[in-house]
Chains A and B, each alone.
Chain A
Amino acid sequence: MRVSITVNGVRQESEIESRLLLVHYLRDHLGLTGTHIGCDTTNCGACTVHLDGEAVKSCTVLAAQADGAEVTTVEGLAKDGELHPVQQAFWDNHGLQCGYCTPGMIMAAADLLKRNPNPSEEEVRHGLEGNLCRCTGYHNIVKAVLDAAGKGVPA
Chain B
Amino acid sequence: MSTVETGGYVGRAMKRKEDPRMITGRGNYIDDMALPGMLWAGLVRSPEAHAKVLSIDTSGAKEMPGVVGVYTAEDLKDAWAIPMPMIWAPADTEIKTPEHWPLASGEVKHVGDPVAIVLGTDRYGVVDAAERVIVDYDPLPVVVDPEAALEDGSPLVWEQFGTNKTHTWSVAGGDVEAAFAEADRVVSQRLVNHRTAGAAIEARGCIADPRGEGVTLYTSTQIPHIARFVLSLVCGIPEDKLRVVAPDVGGGFGSKLNVFAEELLAVVLSRRLKRPIKWIETRTENMLVTHHGRDQINYVDMAVKNDGTVTGCKLRVVADLGAYFTALTPFIPELGFPVANGCYAIPNIELTFDCAFTNKFPTDAIRGAGRPEMTYWIELMMDKVGRELDIDPLEVRRRNFIPAEEFPYETALGIVYDSGNYHGSLDKLLQNFDLDAFRREQEELRQKGKYRGVGFSTYVEVCGLAPSRVVGPQGVGLQGAFWESAMVRVSASGTATVYTGTSPHGQGHDTGFAQIAADRLGIDPANVQVIHGDTDQGPWGWDTYGSRTLAVGGEAVARAATKVQEKAKRICAALLEAAPEDIELADGKFAVRGSPDKSMTMVDIAGAAHIPPQELPTDIEPGLEETSFYDPENFVFPFGAHACVVDVDVDTGKVEVVRYVAVDDCGPAINPMLIEGQVHGGVTHAIGQALYEQVVYDDTGQLVTSSFVDYALPTAAELPSYETDRTETPSPVNTLGVKGVGEAGTIAATPAVTAAVLDALRPLGVEWLDMPHTPMRVWQAIQAAKGDGAGPRASDQGVEVSEHGGGAAGSGPTGPEEGGAS
Contacts and interface: CB of A to CB of B under 8 A. Distances in A.
Interface of A: 17, 19, 24, 27-28, 32-41, 43-44, 46, 73-75, 77-78, 83, 87, 90-92, 94, 96-103, 106, 121, 124-126, 128-143, 154-155
A132 to B, nearest CB: 5
B183 to A, nearest CB: 40
B684 A137 contact: yes
A99 B19 contact: yes
A38 B505 CA distance: 15
Contact of A134 (B20, B200, B248, B709): B200
Interface string B481-519: 000000000000000000000000111100000000000
Residue among B31, B32, B716 with max Cβ neighbours from chain A (10 Å): B716
B106 interface: no
Interface stretch (B3-11, B452-460, B718-726): B718-726
23 contacts: A17-B124, A27-B32, A33-B31, A36-B29, A39-B283, A41-B707, A43-B708, A44-B201, A75-B25, A87-B23, A91-B23, A98-B201, A99-B19, A100-B251, A125-B716, A131-B715, A133-B201, A134-B253, A138-B680, A140-B676, A142-B716, A154-B721, A155-B723
Interface string B710-749: 0001011101011100000000000000000000010000
Between A73, A102, A133, A135, the greatest number of chain B beta carbons within 10 A of the residue's beta carbon is seen for A135
B753 interface: no
Nearest to B16: A94
A141 B24 CA distance: 16
Given A87-B23, A98-B250, A100-B200, 11 more contacts: A17-B124, A35-B25, A41-B707, A90-B19, A94-B677, A96-B19, A121-B721, A124-B716, A125-B719, A133-B201, A137-B745
Contact of B201 (A17, A100, A126): A100
A137 B683 contact: yes
B91 interface: no
Contacts of A98: 200-202, 248-252, 505-506
Contact of B715 (A35, A87, A99, A132): A132
The interface residues of chain A, by DSSP majority, are classed as loop
B333 to A, nearest CB: 24
A132 B708 contact: yes
B673 interface: yes
A88 to B, nearest CB: 8
A92 B15 CA distance: 6
A75 B25 CA distance: 5
Interface residues of B, number: 57
Contacts, number: 183
Contact of A126 (B248, B282, B677, B717): B717
Given A91-B19, A97-B506, A134-B200, A40 B681 contact: no
Interface in B648-700: 673-674, 676-677, 680-685
B214 interface: no
Contacts of B684: 136-138
Nearest to B199: A134
Contacts of B428: none
A33 B32 contact: yes
Contacts of B32: 27, 33
Interface string B196-234: 000111110000000000000000000000000000000
A132 B714 CA distance: 8
Contacts of B682: 137
Contacts of B507: 97
3 closest A-B pairs (Cβ-Cβ)?
Answer: A34-B25, A100-B250, A98-B506
A70 to B, nearest CB: 17
B715 A128 contact: yes
Given A32-B25, A98-B249, A140-B677, A38 B201 contact: yes
